[in-house]
Amino acid sequence: MAVWCVKPGPDGIWEETFLEKKMVGKGGPAVDLSGKSFEEIKSVYAQESPDMKPRARAGHAGQHNILVNKMKRGDLVVVPLRSESAVRIGRVASGYSFSDAQPRHRRTVEWQGEPIRLDYFGQDLRYTFRSAMAVSAAKRNNAEKRTEKVLETREPEKTVPLVQHDEGEVASIIIPEVAKDEIIAFVGAHFKEHEFTGLVASLLRAQGLLAEVAKPGPDQGVDILCGSGPLGLDPPKMVVQVKSGEGPIGTKDVNELMGAMKKFDADRGLFVSWGGFTQPARKDARKSFFSVRLWGQEEIMEAISSHYEKLPEEIRAALPLKRILVLVSEQEDE
């Protein structure tokens, strides 16, 4: 059994398509590659994309060759999600197929349960899953057995090998994504329970809201009360529930937040869950798009990135960050 990593298109544009249609795939030439060898796929690329740099052309052809020839039924496929800092894992369920709609080059998969947080995997596997290539293999450091074990147990890896990456591997890593994963691991380790609630409150204050944090203990479904204006009496009036635990939040808890909104006469609700949310919970929350928001790790990271300079000095001291600039890799998907 092999483990393959497939990105859901540039900027995650095919993530919903992957999940709902139970498939993975890659864009590329409008040519059916069924039955073609690697050399024949390279020839197709030479004909369809003559202006592409030879190295990039060979890289894309190699990725299509994985979809066409190398994947086998039963292999694991890991898809890094854009909507949250997690992966969705499935098993290959069909041979290669071609579609007129993007992504054109496809494999059907059977998804194996809910998404799994990226920080459940060791740094080496996180690097692999965040590869700049649209389709790649996870081979080193017993990746197959380790991925299978995390999928089976739904628990973080306890022992992780220390790895030195060679130059080729480092070049294939998306540095901003890897940096984000490391920040996520740091926040998860250093901001727990009331400290995590304090971080969320600081992020809301940085956005111009007056935020009052409930004292530790029973909170009646509300950890933070927010409002605008000097006294916090102006709209939007918002209740915030915060969970720093590992597991994803389901529909029941999100519905309880809506009940708390009525109890506190709030017109907005925010649920912040470090462990993320189940797909049904996110889907149901969209029905209340104009009154409820869900923040998982991705949304928290976006808030930190956007408002870091406005955070209190003590928060920035506990979470020391600096911005970086990087070039975009030409190996990223079309």
Q: What is the pLDDT of residues 22-74, one digit of tens each?
A: 999 999 999 999 999 999 999 999 999 888 888 888 999 999 999 999 999 99
Classify each residue of 269-304 as buried b or exposed e, where b means 16 or more C-beta atoms within 10 Å of its C-beta: bbbbbbbbbbbebbebbeebeeebbbbbbbbbbebb
* C-alpha torsion angle, residues 117, 119, 122, 126 (rounded to 10): 70
10 or 132: whose pLDDT is higher? 10
CB 197 within 8 A of CB 224: yes
Quick one: pLDDT band at residue 168, thresholds 50, 70, 90?
very low
Mean pLDDT score, 321-330: 65
Beta strand 76-80 pairing with 3-6 = parallel
Task: Identify the DSSP state of 12.
Answer: G
* Alpha-carbon span 112 to 302, nearest angstrom: 28
Mean pLDDT score, 106-122: 93
Locate CATH 3.40.1350.10 in the chain.
192-318
Instruction: Name the helix (H) or strand (E) containing 80.
Output: strand 76-80
Rg (CA), the chain: 22
Strand partners, 238: 226, 268
Side chain identity, residue 68: V
Mean pLDDT, the chain, integer:
88
228 or 182: whose pLDDT is higher? 228
- Candidate from 82-91, 122-131, 264-273 with smallest mean pLDDT: 122-131
CB 135 within 8 A of CB 6: yes
- Candidate from 74-88, 109-123, 125-139 with smallest mean pLDDT: 125-139
Beta strand 105-111 pairing with 97-98 = antiparallel
- Candidate from 103-117, 166-180, 277-291 with smallest mean pLDDT: 166-180
Q: Is the pLDDT of residue 331 over 50?
A: no
Beta strand 224-228 pairing with 210-213 = antiparallel
Q: Is the pLDDT of residue 145 over 90?
A: yes
* Per-residue pLDDT, 38: 95
- Candidate from 269-273, 298-302, 320-324 with smallest mean pLDDT: 320-324
CB 120 within 8 A of CB 275: no
Q: Is the pLDDT of residue 240 over 70?
A: yes
pTM over 0.85: no
Quick one: pLDDT band at residue 171, thresholds 50, 70, 90?
very low
| Chain center to CA of 213 | 28
192-318, CATH topology level: Trna Endonuclease; Chain: A, domain 1 (3.40.1350)
Which residues neighbour 146 within 8 Å (Cβ) at sequence distance 6 or greater? 121, 122, 125, 157
Q: Is the pLDDT of residue 328 over 70?
A: no
* Per-residue pLDDT, 181: 77
Helix, coil or strand: residue 88: strand
